[in-house]
Amino acid sequence: DAGVTQSPTHLIKTRGQQVTLRCSPKSGHDTVSWYQQALGQGPQFIFQYYEEEERQRGNFPDRFSGHQFPNYSSELNVNALLLGDSALYLCASSTRGQNQETQYFGPGTRLLVL
C-alpha cells in the first residue's frame, strides 16, 4: 500500500518565479492538506482540499493556491516567490469524517528560493 507521495523532492527557484508542487494521497484517502515547515519549526497549516474544493485555509497570502483533482491528488502553487518561502512543503492525507482525524504525511518537497 503506497503512502503519501510528493514530487519533486527538491526544487530551486528564483525570487518572483512561480512553483507547482504535487501530492498523491494514501490509498483510500479523500482529503489532502498542505503544510509549510520552515527550518527548525513545526509545520504550519496552509490549506485543505476535499471534493476538489478548498475547505479550510491557514494564515497564508493569496500567492498560495491549490487544486485537487478527481483522483484526489493535489497541487500547491506559489506565485511571486519570496526568499521567505524557502521551506519544506508537506502534504498530508486523511479521510473526512468523525474519528477520521489521523493525517499521514508525505516526505515533503524542499523548496529553496534564491
Binding site for other proteins (CB under 8 A): 4, 31, 33, 35, 40-45, 48, 50, 55-56, 58, 90, 92, 94, 96-98, 100-108
* Residues 74, 66 contacting (CB under 8 angstroms): yes
Query: CB-wise, 19 or 48, nearer to other proteins?
Result: 48
**CB of 16 vs other proteins, minimal distance in Å:** 28
**CB of 79 vs other proteins, minimal distance in Å:** 23
**CB of 63 vs other proteins, minimal distance in Å:** 20
Residues 6+ apart with CB under 8 A from 44: 35, 36, 37, 38, 58
**Quick one: cell of 30?**
479523500
Q: What is the DSSP string of 52-78?
A: TEEEEE-S--TTEEEEE-TTS-EEEEE
Query: CB-wise, 25 or 106, nearer to other proteins?
Result: 106
Query: CB-wise, 42 or 70, nearer to other proteins?
Result: 42
**Quick one: cell of 57?**
485555509
